[in-house]
Structure formats: C-alpha cells, structure tokens
C-alpha cells in the first residue's frame, strides 16, 4: 500500500472524527452553561445534585461512560443497540465535556468581582442585562484559554470512540497498520491530529485576539 492510498483511506475516516468533534462542541458548550448555572443555583438541592453529577462525570473515565451509554440500555433493559454509533458517542462525549466546561464557566463567572455587580446595579441595569452585557463578555475572554485546552483534548479523545466500534480515523489507521504490519499509519494519524489541533489553536487564537478589545 502506498502512502497516498494510506492517507486517502484515513481521510475517509477523518469525516467520522470531525462529526464527533463538531457535534460534541455543538451540544457540550451550551450544556456546560446549563450545568454551570444549575451548579450556582441558590437552591441547595439543585446545586448539590449538579455538583454530584459533575463530580461523577469528571471522576469516571470517558471510555466507561461511552460503554455505559452505548451498551448500558441493552444490558439493563434489553433495548437494541443503536445502529448509528454516532448518536451514543456524541451523547457520551457531550455530557462528559459539558461537565468540564461547566466548571470552567463557573470559575470564569465567579472571578468577576462583586463591585461590578454593584456598579451595574447603581447604573440601573437589570439582573439579566448585567449578566449578558457586562459579565458574560469578560467571562468569555477569561475562559477562552481553558476552553481551548479542552477542545484540543477533545480532538485527541475522539480516538476513544473505537471502544464502541465507531469507525473513526484512528480505527482505520489501526486496521491498515495491522494488515500492512507497518507503523506508518500511526505517524499519519499523529500528523492528522496535529494539523487538526493546529487549526483549533489558530482559530481560538484569533478568537482571543478578537475578544481583547480592552486590556485590564
């Protein structure tokens, strides 16, 4: 097998890898806000319950959660296993990453000083206006580096989806490595992941620049 065919075969799997990546971001970023707000709720039951959920999601391996979401319903209730593996994979990835994002958001929101809320109140902002117009822009700017960290990890974590027989790029790489008894597919996979992450880094760098309209 030539290098070109190898790269071509693996690029076909790259679509599946990207699917996990984009769908997970699509669902995990907003879901993280929900988790963060519930976590900061004044109702102690809601707050503690969310804390527990987040601690379980962060405290157990993603691989285990993938297995639980994919095969759990079958083993527990005899439900059939989804033919489209993307669905359980995205569910598991989304809730897992939402847990991490929620803590990043919470850290960001709580880092804003109380004085700003008071100032906003004096200026007559309502609670919602204070959050959206004053707090949120600062929070986004502050949490961007941490969020980039998580997104970079997400790119690499997509390879875990093979645990539930999802055919992504790294799986195809392994198949080729096997049939060709060659190490080359792993090198190609490494280059693919690196390029992917370089793109992520570039985009997030631009986003950070766009957000730095004032210096503190």
Q: What does the binding site for another protein look like in residue numbers (CB under 8 A)?
A: 42, 44-45, 48-49, 52, 71, 74-83, 85, 114, 117-118, 120-126, 129, 133, 162-163, 165, 167, 171, 174-175, 177-179, 181
Compute the distance between CA of residue 178 and CA of residue 175 in angstroms, rounded to an integer. Answer: 5
CA distance 54 to 74: 25
A 10 A CB-CB count for 177 gives 18
Q: Which is nearer to another protein, 48 or 156 (CB)?
A: 48
| Beta carbon of residue 43, minimum distance to another protein (angstroms, whole number) | 11
Residue labelled with tokens 């997400």: 154
Our CB check for another protein shows the closer of 146 and 175 to be 175
Q: For residue 80, give the 3-state DSSP assignment.
A: coil
- Least Cβ distance, residue 101 to another protein (angstroms): 23
Q: For residue 78, is it left (φ>0), alpha (ψ between -120 and 50) or beta?
A: left
Longest dimension (CA), the chain: 71
Q: What's the min distance (Å) between Cβ of 87 and another protein?
A: 11
CB of 60 to another protein, least distance (A): 13
Nearer to another protein, 70 or 102 (CB): 70
C-beta of 28 vs 177, nearer to another protein: 177
């Amino acid at each position: 097998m030539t290098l070109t065919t190898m790269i071509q075969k693996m690029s076909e799997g790259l679509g599946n890898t990207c699917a996990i990546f984009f769908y997970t971001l699509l669902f995990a970023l907003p879901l993280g806000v929900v988790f963060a707000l519930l976590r900061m709720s004044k109702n102690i039951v809601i707050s503690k319950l969310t804390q527990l959920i987040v601690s379980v999601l962060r405290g157990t391996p993603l691989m285990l959660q993938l297995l639980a979401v994919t095969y759990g319903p079958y083993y527990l209730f005899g439900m059939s296993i989804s033919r489209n593996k993307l669905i359980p994979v995205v569910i598991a990835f989304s809730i897992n990453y939402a847990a991490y994002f929620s803590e990043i958001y919470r850290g960001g929101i709580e880092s804003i000083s109380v004085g700003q809320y008071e100032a906003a109140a004096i200026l007559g902002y309502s609670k919602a206006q204070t959050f959206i117009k004053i707090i949120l822009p600062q929070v986004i700017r502050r949490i961007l580096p941490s969020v980039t960290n998580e997104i970079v990890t997400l790119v690499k974590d997509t390879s875990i989806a093979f645990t539930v027989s999802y055919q992504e790029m790294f799986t195809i790489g392994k198949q080729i490595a096997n049939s060709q008894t060659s190490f080359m597919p792993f090198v190609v996979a490494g280059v693919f992941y690196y390029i992917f992450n370089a793109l992520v880094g570039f985009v997030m760098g631009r986003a950070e620049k766009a957000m730095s309209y004032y210096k503190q």
